[in-house]
Amino acid sequence: MTESLSTYKSAQDAENPTNNSSSQSTNRFIEPVVLIRRIAFGIAIATWMVMAIGSATRVMNAGLACPDWPLCYGSVLPAEQMNLQVFLEWFHRLVASTVGFATIVLFSASWYFRKSLPKWLPWATSGSLSLVVFQGILGGLTVTQLLRFDIVTAHLGTGLLFFSSLLAISIALGNYTSEAPSSSPKIAWLGLSAAVLVYLQSILGALVASQWALHQCFATQDMCIVLNAHLIGMIPVTLTSIAVVVTAWLSKQIAPLLRKVATIAGLLVVVQIAIGYGTYKLHLQVEPLTIAHQATGSALLGTLVCFTVLAFRATRQDQSLIQEQNQAQPAIR
């Protein structure tokens, strides 16, 4: 991925050696790479908002406020039936539909400008489009199947994958060549491990939420296994995330941007643990706290995805510099 992007930039510079410096300052906002990167990042932010609204919809018992799908009470805007619960479900569908159409634009633009973009990009946006289509199907099934727990869990899991894919695309297209690369690939794999663990922990959290496991465990001692699995899963997630932060700060050759992103991830871990503890102690009775728990977890996953992509890019840059130096040494001698 990084090599393709580097090749693309080198080819562009070679074709326009005289106009490169001037055009970079005047036309950089309309370059296809910049356009795709900004669209992908914007959709990622909107997707994070959709997941937060979806969490609010579940917490407020509004998942079936619109009994039909894709319309709501047979209309685009159910003005007569509108209340807080109907509004949450309707607004959730509205923003999700906007994300879907924006992803179609992203997909179309990446294929239209494919000759000016890295070769992997159109295929990556095709994967993102497939995820959002599947996400839409699952969204419909959550209503028609009356909030079946496995469909609700898959709905969130697919949304997190879609969110992560958009962040990976936008970060991979960024220009960070001025940053000093890291010489160790271990931190990249550590970041990937932390991201995977956070994703799996989010799936466990979705199972807890979709089956109301916390309420059932406290009331009748049912579903305590699911709840305890989520609580135990917090341990490897926390340790791995802290390891990312500590490694980033102890590494002297790591890029400053990587260190900043790792710090943000560490802060999100602390906030997430605090919110989770409060949610557990209050038995999910404070809705904003429950919503913040899911939103913070999604933000932590996104931050670790960004860290991982940046770390792998830095490793590739470091390997390219070493190869260039090895090739240049015989010529100098």
**pLDDT tens digit sequence for 127-140:** 999 999 999 999 99
What percentage of the chain has pLDDT greater than the value 70? 83
Indicate whether 257 and 145 sit together in one domain: no
Give the domain-ending residue among 159, 175, 191.
175
CA triple 184-189-194, angle to 5 deg:
135
Indicate whether 7 and 152 sit together in one domain: yes
Report d(CA 63, CA 89) in Å as an integer: 6
Give the domain-ending residue among 175, 195, 219.
175
Indicate whether 222 and 163 sit together in one domain: no
Please state the φ and ψ torsions of residue 75, each to the nearest 5 degrees.
-140, 160
Indicate whether 270 and 319 sit together in one domain: yes
Give the domain-ending residue among 175, 190, 207.
175
**Domain extent for 1:** 1-175
Mean pLDDT in residue range 14-30: 44
Q: Which of helix, strand or coil describes residue 179? A: coil
CB contact burial 286-313 (16+ within 10 A = b; e otherwise)? eeebbbbbbbbbbbbbbbbbbbbbbbbb
Nearest CA to 308 out of 258, 246, 243, 236 is that of 258
Indicate whether 142 and 245 sit together in one domain: no
Indicate whether 168 and 24 sit together in one domain: yes
Give the per-residue pLDDT at 24. 43
Q: If you average pLDDT over every residue of the chain, what do you get?
A: 86
- Confidence at 332, pLDDT banded by 50, 70, 90: low
Indicate whether 127 and 7 sit together in one domain: yes
- The count of structural domains within the chain is 2
- Confidence at 200, pLDDT banded by 50, 70, 90: very high
Residues 6+ apart with CB under 8 A from 233: 197, 200, 201, 204
Indicate whether 138 and 266 sit together in one domain: no
Indicate whether 148 and 245 sit together in one domain: no
Indicate whether 76 and 215 sit together in one domain: no
Per residue in 23-73, pLDDT tens?
444 344 468 999 999 999 999 999 999 999 999 998 898 999 999 998 999
Indicate whether 252 and 128 sit together in one domain: no
Indicate whether 136 and 217 sit together in one domain: no
Give the per-residue pLDDT at 86. 95
CATH of the domain at 193: 1.20.120
Question: Over 90: is that where the pLDDT of 327 sits?
Answer: no
Segment among 130-134, 162-166, 222-226, 243-247 with least mean pLDDT: 222-226
Tokens of 282: 């209050």
Asked if residue 199 lies in contact with residue 301, where contact means CB atoms within 8 angstroms, the answer is: yes
Question: Over 80: is that where the pLDDT of 183 sits?
Answer: no
Question: Over 70: is that where the pLDDT of 12 sits?
Answer: no
